[in-house]
């Protein structure tokens, strides 16, 4: 009599891999081709927290908080949450709209959530979710037995060095994650190589090489797994990040769905907000209607993309710059230019920019002020001119845009 083989249930995994500050370059297209993933050009926000909020909720920042979200908006929602092991006070942020985050909807559907490489143990708490219902792991917190920030010099030296212990730990984490099965699990894994290189404004080639090494170590063919790899913003060590510039928010993403009924993206251009309806629709979870768009919908070449930012030099509490962007100059399904209209609240004025990114490398794009900036030329244009369309879109979308 033959022995019956035991079977174990294979849960679905979603890997959200954040490549912090890893700007768009040809290497990411090559990685997509190598791994059989779908490549996106993606419009993001201008720093990590706001990009994550847009991705997690599918909303504009001004839809979540009146007048948008600044770097320190969350301070008004701080609540005490005890102490860390070393006696450091712990706090958390009770965002009033956190139930809109797709991670909350997965938790309510009995998914597990696991976090890797998020720096200080409470980083996820302060940014996103105050319920400690997930598993957390970070190499540096374990190594030093205390909270550490990825901007710390000793951490940067290890992240951008040849510390074999750190490199092997990262690979062991990937092995550990991909060997787990049995439960539906949502993973967030953050990679800091390019952020560290931007912080010191050097060793960017090392950052690229090491990040590619880690990303190539993943088994992108894992059965019943979904891969979502994305960058969150431009290189903050560069001058173009001093203002809202297309080079700062035009980034990239890779997506691969190895489930039995995979998501088939119908376009190569997207907004960071589009992940929210796409992933919720796949698992039949509640999706609040908004002006984002699932990847399974066809590309709208006339779509207007909105980005918001609080300039750290002038405002940390709410959005004070907002831009509307559209792709232009379409050739063979690919645009050569981005047209951008920016509203600067400090000056109560609009700025019009055109970015030529036909090279496919935004940092090499030539960005100039549009002819529309000249009032004498502007008067000759009718209401169907794209500059006017973008300006009016800002006025209609944001009630605080007043000139």
pTM for the model: 0.90
Give the pLDDT score at 142.
82
Reduce the DSSP state of residue 268 to 3 states and report it.
coil
Report how far residue 242's alpha carbon sits from residue 163's, in angstroms, rounded to the nearest whole number. Answer: 33
C-alpha distances in Å from residue 261, one per residue of 195, 264, 278, 280: 35, 9, 13, 14
Query: Contact, 117 vs 191, CB < 8 A?
Result: yes
So where are the chain's domains? Answer: 13-298, 306-397
pLDDT digits (tens, 9 = 90+) for 73-98: 888 887 766 555 555 556 677 888 98
**Domain 13-298's class?**
alpha beta
Give the pLDDT score at 147.
66
pLDDT digits (tens, 9 = 90+) for 165-210: 999 999 999 999 999 888 999 999 999 999 999 999 999 999 999 9
Burial of 138 (0-12, 13-18, 19+ CB in 10 A): buried
pLDDT digits (tens, 9 = 90+) for 113-135: 888 988 655 556 555 554 545 67
By C-alpha distance, which of 257, 260, 261, 259 is closest to 275? 257
Burial of 382 (0-12, 13-18, 19+ CB in 10 A): exposed
């Amino acid at each position: 009599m033959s022995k019956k083989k035991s079977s174990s249930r294979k849960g679905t995994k979603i890997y959200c891999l954040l490549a912090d500050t890893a700007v768009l370059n040809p290497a990411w297209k090559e990685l997509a081709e190598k791994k059989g993933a779908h490549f996106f050009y993606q419009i993001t926000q201008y720093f990590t927290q706001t990009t994550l909020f847009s991705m997690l909720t599918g909303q504009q920042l001004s839809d979540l908080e009146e007048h948008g979200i600044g770097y320190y908006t969350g301070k008004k929602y701080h609540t005490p949450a005890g102490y860390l092991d070393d006696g450091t006070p712990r706090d958390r942020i009770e965002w009033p709209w956190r139930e809109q985050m797709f991670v909350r909807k997965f938790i309510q559907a009995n998914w597990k959530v696991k976090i890797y490489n998020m720096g200080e143990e409470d980083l996820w708490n302060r940014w996103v979710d105050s319920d400690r219902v997930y598993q957390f792991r970070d190499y540096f917190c374990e190594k030093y037995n205390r909270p550490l920030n990825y901007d710390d010099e000793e951490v940067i030296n290890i992240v951008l060095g040849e510390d074999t212990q750190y490199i092997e730990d990262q690979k062991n984490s990937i092995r550990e994650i991909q060997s787990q099965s049995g439960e539906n699990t949502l993973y967030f894994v953050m990679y800091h190589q390019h952020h560290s290189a931007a912080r010191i404004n050097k060793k960017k080639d090392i950052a690229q090489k090491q990040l590619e090494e880690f990303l190539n170590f993943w088994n992108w063919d894992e059965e019943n797994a979904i891969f979502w790899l994305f960058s969150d913003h431009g290189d903050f060590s560069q001058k173009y990040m001093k203002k809202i510039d297309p080079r700062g928010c035009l980034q990239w993403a890779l997506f691969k769905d190895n489930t039995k009924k995979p998501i088939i993206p119908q376009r190569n251009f997207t907004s960071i907000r589009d992940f929210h309806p796409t992933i919720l629709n796949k698992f039949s979870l509640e999706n609040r209607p908004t002006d984002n768009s699932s990847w399974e919908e066809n590309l709208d070449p006339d779509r207007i993309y909105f980005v918001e930012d609080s300039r750290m030099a002038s405002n940390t509490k709410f959005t004070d710059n907002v831009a509307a962007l559209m792709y232009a100059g379409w050739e063979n399904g690919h645009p050569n230019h981005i047209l951008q209209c920016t509203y600067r609240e400090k000056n109560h004025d609009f700025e019009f920019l055109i970015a030529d990114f036909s090279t496919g490398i935004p940092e090499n794009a030539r960005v100039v002020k549009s002819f529309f900036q000249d009032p004498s030329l502007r008067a000759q244009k009718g209401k169907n001119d794209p500059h006017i369309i973008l300006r009016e879109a800002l006025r209609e979308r944001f009630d605080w845009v007043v000139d």
